[in-house]
Chain A
Amino acid sequence: MTFFRFDIDTRSRLAGRFIGRVRRELLKAIVEEKQGGLTQQELARRLETRRSDINRQLSGEAEITLRSLADLAWALDREVTVELRRPDTATGQNIAPATSTIGYQPVRIIARKAPND
């Protein structure tokens, strides 16, 4: 074996990457603000919360609600942009399969072909 694809189903992939992206965007903003002198302690003071709570959200150990995302964005002087759009499909692009072939859940056969078809 010279190649291995870590392949999970589309629903899981979208969820995991969305959650990860939100966290990364927050971390990037914090790194940028840190260069300007903002500490996590100061961030906690602005949000009137505990530093450890913010740390747990940023490490992914506590859930970031829409409210806390908006509050963090405010405290970091950022705006949140949300957009739901249909997936891009055009010739020459990577085409993500609609269903996984090796997904970590058992493969579900949606419509089995009849023997005489």
Chain B
Amino acid sequence: MPTISDLVHNGAIVKIDVELAPHDQPLRLLYGTPQFVAWLREVLDGAQPDQLLGHSSIAEQIDDLFYSFLSGEQLIFTRQFRAVRAEENAVWELKTPDVRIFGWFMAKDCFVAVFGNWADTIKDHDLYRGYRIAIRRLRRELGIDATLCVKGVAPDDVLSV
């Protein structure tokens, strides 16, 4: 039964952070798969959708989302995060105006990001089901479906405020 530390050491997940403000302390944990980190690198290199809905760049939106998450700010349920489907061991979605990030909570306040994509692309091609199935498969392959996965789908099952 792998631990979070095992997953980091064998390269299955990578710890992600952003610059915090002087008075902030990291109150939550954020990890990503290597594939997700590769997508973040593309964003840092300037990747963006054809049409930008938000009034900040993609990188700015993601930085703000990660900052809010890591510094322990209150995230607004359904506007900024939600379970893709109400089911045990749910897949969760983090949201900015132009970006959707899919993953799951290994524990309360501890999220693993697996897929990132443009909001418009996901809606146009209805990618929710595919991402949900792929994430469930990944958890099974890692052998953590029953251990490192929050079961509830209520906001306070996954985030403390």
Contact = CB atoms under 8 A, between A and B. Distances in A.
Partners in one complex: yes
A70 interface: no
B79 A17 contact: no
B14 A90 contact: no
Given A1-B11, A6-B44, A7-B18, 9 more contacts: A2-B14, A5-B18, A6-B40, A7-B19, A16-B57, A17-B67, A88-B23, A94-B24, A96-B19
B56 A20 contact: yes
A107 interface: no
B73 to A, nearest CB: 7
B133 interface: no
Given A24-B73, A95-B22, A19 B62 contact: no
Interface residues on B, range: 35 or more
A39 interface: no
Interface of B: 8-9, 11, 14-24, 32, 34, 37, 40, 43-46, 53-57, 59-68, 73-74, 76, 79-80, 96-97
Interface residues of A, number: 37
Interface stretch (A41-49, A57-65, A72-80, A109-117): A57-65
